[in-house]
Amino acid sequence: MNIKFDLADIQAFAAVAELQSFRAAAESIHLSQPAFSRRIEKLEEALGVRLLDRTTRRVTLTAVGRDFARKTQQWLDDLDGMLMGLGDMAARRMGEVTIACVPSAVYYFLPQVVKRYHERFPRIRVKVHDASANEVLVAVAQGDADFGLNFIGSQEAEIEFKPVLAERFVAACRRDHALARRKKVTWAELGRHDFMSVGKTSGNRLLMDLALANVPDRPQCLYEAKHVTTLLGLVEAGLGVAAVPSLAMPGRDHPTLVSIPLVEPVVTRQMGLIKRRSKSLSPAAQQLYDLLVATRSARPRSAPAPQKIQSGR
């Protein structure tokens, strides 16, 4: 039997089977749509079967196409895994991995891990999608990211949540502020100063609101911002104090900002790696995921040391 198609044709079919769109699939493998269509036509002609039903608006797999898609994806994953483990061939491997991550975790977790990953797989591109907790969860759930670093997702049936770190919320203020020399501060005490917080659409705000629901004299917001980084800029400008996750704070040697542990109550969040249960990671993504798991206890020297505590999850 003379098979007249190649690996590139199989990869094109796998892309359109997953994305259900010729345009999106062509973009994902960096081909023009006419060139992409020719690859699919070539594959169908070589096999003598129709794999896709196409209209002007949508693409669907035929019954044969669905079966072929399952088999080709397994074959591609096996091939990818073999190539990833072959030393010099791994260094020449091309591809892309997308990780979604809340901004406060980017500095803490990613730089050294991505550096090690790049040394091993220099031709694999890593895309970091830094976004809010809700956006990170959606990106992973919808397949826009291979996996994510987030503090929400453990309650989602379709998401696997692997805890990596428990961290507490701290008070952020300027070094010349009245609270700056305190060993700890209560939420009620924090509320006696101009208090700032992230908005109600933030996952961090939800965690704080739930934890402080029964706390009398809880802080009332004078200013709100969408992102924690913006909030810290307002603190640095002297507009007030804020409650932020410890990972978001700069190092102890920062010339302006200082953090103080918050008590009564101690509010924590659990950071974890999230991925879809229904789909295995590609070998390239799995390699990066495993590196993050293996180095989850590592911490940049300049980062604040979060308190290791038991999570309520």
Domain count, the chain: 3
Tell whether 35 and 150 lie within a shared domain: no
Task: Write out the H or E segment, with its range, that includes residue 177.
Answer: none
Q: Determine the structural domain holding residue 41 and report its residue range.
A: 7-77
Tell whether 255 and 182 lie within a shared domain: yes
Structure tokens belonging to residue 292? 């993050």
Strand-pair partners of 97 = 126
Alpha helices (H) along the chain: 7-19, 22-28, 33-47, 63-84, 88-92, 103-120, 133-141, 187-190, 203-211, 228-236, 283-294
| Residue 57 DSSP class | S
**DSSP per residue over 239-253, as a string?**
S-EEEEEGGGS--TT
Is 82 within the bounds of a domain? no
Tell whether 158 and 290 lie within a shared domain: yes
Q: b or e along 131-151 (b: 16 or more beta carbons within 10 Å of the residue's beta carbon)?
A: bbbebbbebbbeeebbbbbbb
Is 101 within the bounds of a domain? yes
| Domain containing residue 236: CATH number | 3.40.190.10
Contact yes or no for 219/191 (Cβ under 8 A): yes
Non-local CB neighbours of 35 within 8 Å, separated by 6+ positions = 26
Render each residue's pLDDT in the chain as its tens digit; 313 residues.
Answer: 455 777 888 888 888 888 888 888 888 778 888 888 888 888 888 888 888 887 766 788 888 888 888 888 777 766 666 666 555 544 456 678 899 999 888 877 788 889 999 888 888 889 999 988 899 999 999 888 999 999 999 889 999 999 988 899 999 999 999 999 999 999 999 999 999 999 988 888 988 999 999 888 889 999 999 888 899 999 999 999 999 999 889 888 899 999 999 999 999 999 999 999 988 888 888 889 999 988 764 444 333 433 333 333 3
State how far Cα 303 lies from the chain centre.
20
Tell whether 159 and 193 lie within a shared domain: no
State how far Cα 236 lies from the chain centre.
27
Is 299 within the bounds of a domain? no
What is the chain's length? 313
What is the pTM for the complete model shown? 0.64
- Which tens digit of pLDDT belongs to each residue from 285-302? 888 999 998 876 444 433
Is 116 within the bounds of a domain? yes
Tell whether 54 and 124 lie within a shared domain: no
How far is it, in rounded angstroms, from Cα 306 to Cα 282?
32
Is 111 within the bounds of a domain? yes
Can you tell me whether residue 36 is helix, strand or coil?
Answer: helix
Tell whether 282 and 159 lie within a shared domain: yes
Tell whether 157 and 172 lie within a shared domain: no
